[in-house]
Structure 1
Amino acid sequence: MSLKLLDQPLGQLACEIPGASRLLHAFNLDFCCGGQRSLREEANRRGIDPQPIASELAALQNQGGLHHDWRSEPSDQLIEHILNRYHARHREQLPELIALAYRVEQVHGDRADCPRGLADHLRAMLQELESHMLKEEQILFPMLLAGYARQASAPIAVMRLEHDQHGAALEQLQRLSGGLTPPEDACNTWRALYRGLNELNDDLVQHIHLENNVLFAAALAP
């Protein structure tokens, strides 16, 4: 069973297997922007042996469990979920994280392990995400809801490109924050910041996955 999983697209694995997205994320395998790549291709790209991961995926597959497969839901329900669960949440998360990052830099800026530049990077992410989400809310999503999926290929291509840019921003976030892991002696503010960064990272990865591998894939299906 696990051998078959090696050549399946990561986006498909994340959609079909309960717990797969969490496992793939733990191995830093890109199932959102790189969801079209197979497990074997992405693992090789990262210099990781794919077989143990395939075995763990097979075990998850055998366990079954609760898993909401958004591919079986109407697009309007998925869009509502994306708006309420991710667009609204990102608008809450980022301003708070920016404030926390500035505070950490002001207090601990003389430390070698201080995430200097993190607040400015988060502010840039907020601006880019806000622009991106507005395009979806004002242009793309209304087109899909009105039944113009076939005419939406151009805006979808733009959104996919911007998703790639968001993925690159998350990689930079990892670098600036030392892998989203606070120092052992970090203060409470520093720890709260990194808890929030981990949540943002997980939410944005899942957000992009649902759009790229479910909503957009359905809109462009023959």
Structure 2
Amino acid sequence: MNHTLLQQSLGNIAGEIPGATRIFHVHKLDFCCAGHLSLSEAVAQRGIDVDAILAELQALESLNSDEVDWRVAPEAELIGHILTRYHARHREQLPELIRLAQRVEQVHGDRNDCPAGLTDLLRYLLQELESHMLKEEQILFPALLDGLGPKTAAPISVMRMEHEHHSEALQRLLELTRQITPPEDACNTWRALYRGLDEFVRDLMQHIHLENNVLFINALNPTPRPTV
């Protein structure tokens, strides 16, 4: 168990570990106004199980590792990875990012460097991604798992087109946030928002890459299996 986290401030952890703000929110730990408190001090004040919250934070850190060569992995394994690592993760990320963006816009809306419109953009992304992922989960992925890869050109074409729309939305996000660069005097909430956005953008780009350049290509051009 990495107890060095206990000596770090809530504000620092919120900025360094993607998704930590969601955990702090669940446990009602104030990483903004009380961001100077160490994790140890904060959990002691609220009577939270130290080992439990450390385990949750370390689980988030482990999500950054992705060393499998998915180009040669079994199709079912890749689909399972996409569902758990990206579909489930996006559903966790976006509601928290929306909450943080709304708070930043409400508190700092009078500043020129405030990302005005970010909350609405994130809500749009949540709606579009949810629709997109449901199509994959209910139609495309079952067809691929049934061995119908070469016959899925039409739905794959739709998914690729929607990926382009997602990429356009990400570009708009980068513009609104000045390439996800917080102001020097940004508060903990603002910094946590941008750290989470950085993770989300990286995740969504990797998600799209795995589907466009690995899953879809392999599905439409299956490798012949040797006869026994």
Task: Write the distance in 2 (CA, Å) between the matches of 1:174 and 1:85.
Answer: 23
Q: Which residue of 2 aligns with 1:98?
A: 98
Q: Which residue of 2 aligns with 1:191?
A: 191
Q: Which residue of 1 aligns with 2:175?
A: 175
1:74 Cα deviation (Å)? Answer: 0.7
Q: Which residue of 2 aligns with 1:123?
A: 123
1:150 Cα deviation (Å)? Answer: 1.2
The SS at the match of 2:200 is helix
The SS at the match of 2:155 is helix
Q: Which residue of 1 aligns with 2:83?
A: 83
1:68 Cα deviation (Å)? Answer: 2.0
1:81-130 Cα deviation digits (max 9, x unpaired): 00000000000000000010000000000001000100000000000000
Amino acid at match of 2:88: A
Task: Write the distance in 2 (CA, Å) between the matches of 1:71 and 1:101.
Answer: 36
Establish whether residue 154 from structure 1 lines up as the match of residue 141 from structure 2: no
The SS at the match of 2:71 is helix
Q: Which residue of 1 aligns with 2:221?
A: 221
The SS at the match of 1:115 is coil
Q: Structure 1 residue runs of 4+, over 2 Å off?
A: none
1:116-159 Cα deviation digits (max 9, x unpaired): 10000000000000000000000000000001111100000000
Percent pairwise identity = 69
**TM-score by structure 2 length?**
0.68
Q: Which residue of 1 aligns with 2:145?
A: 145
Establish whether residue 109 from structure 1 lines up as the match of residue 109 from structure 2: yes
**TM-score by structure 1 length?**
0.70
Question: For structure 1, which runs of at least 5 residues remain unmatched after alignment?
Answer: 1-65
1:67 Cα deviation (Å)? Answer: 4.1
Task: Write the distance in 2 (CA, Å) between the matches of 1:201 and 1:150.
Answer: 30
Question: For structure 2, which runs of at least 5 residues remain unmatched after alignment?
Answer: 1-65, 223-228
Task: Write the distance in 2 (CA, Å) between the matches of 1:208 and 1:221.
Answer: 18
